[in-house]
Chains A and B, each alone.
Chain A
């Protein structure tokens, strides 16, 4: 982690105004924000730990635990809502056997909701990692998850 952080810090000046970008880059690199990383960011930017943590917990994008390999976000924008996003969410929860903000036991999938990803014309939609899947139905959602799961299995086999 130390090396990764040093590499990130090298791109910044170390000012109070850089806390959010620092947290973003750190999460991008490490997948989440470990406590030690937040302390280092505080030291580097010259701000108290309480500020780093206060900021990190204010914004929804920051996470304090690792996410699954496949990070599923169900969009809850208005367009998605009127086109049945809650049904999609319920369905995905059932399929994965986890609730919102949880990760499956095998660490493959984690589930979150997001305010709006701005793909309203394709409502309802979900994202899996950075891929958007739109015009979903329960059935199509299952397929998307199945595909991801298949990819995961394949990777595992390839690894063996």
Chain B
């Protein structure tokens, strides 16, 4: 890009200013601190020029120009505000208020509404035109957001956001003129449509036409000027999306994506249904004070000192009774690197635990074994490479469930680049758009991928391999249609010059990881990406799986291989435990301590001690990206409930009581240690 482009001299409101050529009058005004009201304009979206609120006078022309779509010209004279302009803007607002039912008192978005604010700004206190609105139904088929046409001003922001940012392209204008209506797909309900629930439409909606159903109406929370915003990141899935939290009264009212007009992040800063809605879900009763199991078997609240003392005593006792293998430390990969480093050191160096593992350790072991079989160390591909791929093969993974942004990015790529996408397995949200879909039957995975490997890599060249592939396909008992799809996938893979494979480490059961190995092999054969990177994106189950794995928390050995533990520290981050294998392992322990933000319902009968810890949103920490290459800082957004101590404080207290000196005298020390280990 040219850096020293010649500036353009223009006059705005009598002031001569120099601005970059090609920018809009609106941008020029804003750069120079001149306010022009807008409605359909959104900085992260393409300009539309429909609402006409931003009209200005250009060179005294009798026609007013929409400043958002009018580029600056050399010497242009712009007036951004005079009686005529204000009158025109007021008329527009009156038209809008007369067009639909904008009854602020009963609107979910009151206080956080651009239309309402503009009415105040332009002092529209009555309508000179009659109200002409009909009543429209409200679509509440989504658990997350509601679409209320009665509040819609047809600015088209949602349509553009759905197209340009989300990529889902579910929203569009229907009909024409005064009959215009925002519709989903073929005028379907949210639920019946192919909507990805990302909520970016809701974020950009300037009124209450698309509002959050997930949280209770926050209209009652007052005016948005009273809220605080904190910019942080979403730690839910490893994509580390920037997020802006609006907080009032120590409550998160909403989470917005940090939308970008350019592709500095290929997802342009959108959030997904998880990061916008689900993270705010309360999944149980908050644990605010430690609890101990009494003699009668019930749990009762206890003081921190007593709970910590007891925990330390019992752990020390367990160590003494049975050297080494006595203690198991099990952490959620939703924790920050800092918490994980401390936990690992406490359990390992401090207590000499025989097993330190994460809840997703099984996934790690599959990847680890596959990696060990490679001829050289290779990196995983990043999800950011999706837009460049010419073919994407998804095997077993369901990005919509694990990393929803990956799913929307794939959809955008399909529409924008007509990239071919083949799905093997279940991926409901991509079915209508994928070039191929092959259902994956239980037990077929390894065979199928092996056959694909054979057929795709030696397409028509190696007779032996082709014969083997044919044999495997025969074994798979595919229907005629499915077999045709299979061959077409194989051909597409072999023809692709820049393919990308997406899978999930837990694709196949731990017992049979040959399918995963075949896929690694297949992607290896399609050539490496720069930087010794394999064409393979491995989706991981938790937000900081990569960090946890990199920090060595996940055990290479199967749990229990070094002997059965008698005591366990389970360090949860806000999830409920439902994995039957894990529950099985946790029964029969002598001592179980659970550190968790919520009361873990499935463990309520098992745990001897419950220690409350903050939720992710209540403490600082760093997280590592899905591909393990980036680390991001997650800021504390709200205070934990009173009585809840930081993870760092809890772990320090346990270290102190067990006589372990981890070397982390301050929070900063843990941060430094984590940073060092993550190669920061």
Contact = CB atoms under 8 A, between A and B. Distances in A.
The short answer to whether A and B are in direct contact, CB under 8 Å, is: yes
Interface stretch (A51-59, A107-115, A122-130, A141-149): A51-59
Contact of A54 (B174, B414, B418, B432): B174
Interface string B165-176: 000011111111
Contact of B169 (A35, A43, A50, A58): A50
Interface string A12-41: 000000000000000000000001001100
Interface in A28-84: 35, 38-39, 43, 46-54, 57-58, 60
Contact of A53 (B174, B176, B194): B174
Which of A35, A48, A52, A57 has the most C-beta atoms of chain B within 10 angstroms of its own C-beta? A48
Interface in B150-178: 162, 169-176
A50 B172 contact: yes
B210 to A, nearest CB: 15
A35 B173 CA distance: 17
Contacts of A49: 170, 185-186, 194, 432
A57 B174 contact: yes
Contact of A35 (B186, B194, B415): B186
Contacts of A38: 186
A50 B171 CA distance: 6
Contact of A51 (B169, B194, B414): B169
Given A39-B186, A43-B432, A54-B183, A48 B175 contact: no
Contacts of B184: 50
A51 B185 CA distance: 8
A60 B175 CA distance: 9
Nearest to B187: A53
Which of B175, B184, B185, B432 has the most C-beta atoms of chain A within 10 angstroms of its own C-beta? B185
Contacts of B174: 53-54, 57
Contacts of B194: 48-49
A94 B187 CA distance: 33
Contacts of B176: 57-58, 60
B169 A53 contact: no
B415 A47 contact: yes
Nearest to A47: B415
A53 B172 contact: yes
A36 to B, nearest CB: 10
A56 B185 CA distance: 12
Contacts of B415: 46-48
Contacts of A46: 414-415, 418
A146 to B, nearest CB: 35
- Give the interface size class of chain B: 10 to 19
Interface residues of A, number: 16
A51 B415 CA distance: 11
A101 to B, nearest CB: 13
A29 to B, nearest CB: 19
Given A43-B432, A48-B170, A53 B418 contact: no
Nearest to B162: A50
B175 A57 contact: yes
Given A39-B186, A46-B415, A48-B415, A54 B173 contact: yes
Contacts of A47: 415
A50 B185 contact: yes
A58 B170 contact: no
A53 B183 contact: yes
Contacts of B187: 53, 57
A134 B82 CA distance: 54
Interface in B179-210: 183-187, 194
A39 B172 CA distance: 15
A35 B172 CA distance: 16
Interface in B412-448: 414-415, 418, 432
A49 B432 CA distance: 10
Which of A39, A48, A50, A58 has the most C-beta atoms of chain B within 10 angstroms of its own C-beta? A50
B158 to A, nearest CB: 11
Which of B186, B194, B418 has the most C-beta atoms of chain A within 10 angstroms of its own C-beta? B186
Contacts of B171: 50
A60 B639 CA distance: 57
Contacts of B418: 46
B184 to A, nearest CB: 7
A41 B673 CA distance: 57
Nearest to A48: B169
B185 A58 contact: no
A51 B159 CA distance: 10
A39 to B, nearest CB: 7
A50 B432 contact: no
A51 B414 CA distance: 14
A12 to B, nearest CB: 15
Contacts of A51: 169, 172
Nearest to A58: B176
B169 to A, nearest CB: 4
Contacts of A52: 186
B411 to A, nearest CB: 9
A45 to B, nearest CB: 10
A75 B558 CA distance: 80
Given A38-B186, A39-B186, A43-B432, A50 B175 contact: no
Contacts of B175: 57-58
A39 B171 CA distance: 15
Contacts of A35: 186
B133 to A, nearest CB: 20
Contacts of A58: 173, 175-176
B409 to A, nearest CB: 15
A58 B173 CA distance: 9
Contacts of B432: 39, 43, 49
A53 B172 CA distance: 8
B177 to A, nearest CB: 9
Contacts of B183: 50, 53-54, 57
A125 B173 CA distance: 33
User: Which 7 A-B residue pairs are closest in the complex by CB-CB distance?
Assistant: A54-B172, A48-B169, A50-B172, A49-B185, A53-B186, A57-B174, A57-B175
10 contacts: A39-B186, A47-B415, A49-B170, A50-B170, A50-B172, A52-B186, A53-B172, A53-B187, A54-B174, A57-B176
Interface of B: 162, 169-176, 183-187, 194, 414-415, 418, 432
Interface of A: 35, 38-39, 43, 46-54, 57-58, 60
Given A38-B186, A53-B174, 16 more contacts: A39-B186, A39-B432, A46-B414, A46-B418, A48-B194, A48-B415, A50-B162, A50-B186, A53-B187, A54-B173, A54-B174, A54-B183, A57-B174, A57-B187, A58-B173, A58-B176
